[in-house]
Amino acid sequence: MSSISSFAPATAGPAAQRPTSAAPANVGAAWGAAFAIVAGAAVIGAVVNPRQAALYGLGALMGLVLYHAAFGFTSAWRVFISDRRGAGLRAQMIMLAVATTLFFPVLASGSLFGQPVQGLVSPVGVSVVFGAFLFGIGMQMGGGCASGTLYTVGGGSTRMLITLAAFIVGSTVGAAHLHWWAAQPSFAPVSLVKLWGPWAALAVNLAVFAAIAAATIYFERKRHGALEAEKPSPRHGLARLLRGPWPLIAGGVALALLNFATLALAGKPWGITSAFALWGSKITASLGVADVASWPYWSNPANKAALQNSVLNDVTSVMDIGIVVGALLAAALAGRYAPTWRVPLRSALAAILGGLLLGYGARLAYGCNIGAYFSGIASGSLHGWVWMVAAFAGNVIGTRLRPLFDLEVERTPRLTAC
> Per-residue pLDDT tens for 331-360?
999 999 888 888 999 999 999 999 999 999
- Residue 142 and residue 157: Cα distance in Å, rounded? 12
pLDDT score, position 384: 97
Q: What is the secondary structure of 250-313 as a DSSP string?
A: HHHHHHHHHHHHHHHHHSS----THHHHHHHHHHHHHTTSS-GGGSGGGTSHHHHHHHHS-GGG
pLDDT score, position 233: 86
Q: In 3D, which of 363, 360, 371 has the Cα closest to residue 315?
A: 371
Q: Which amino acid is at 374?
A: F
Bridge partners, residue 124, by sequence: 187
pLDDT score, position 20: 45
pLDDT score, position 21: 53
> Per-residue pLDDT tens for 379-399?
999 999 999 999 999 999 999
- Residues in the chain, pLDDT under 70: 1-22, 414-418
pLDDT score, position 24: 87
pLDDT score, position 415: 52
Q: What is the secondary structure of 215-255 as a DSSP string?
A: HHHHHHHHHHSSPPPPPPPS--HHHHHHH-PPPHHHHHHHH
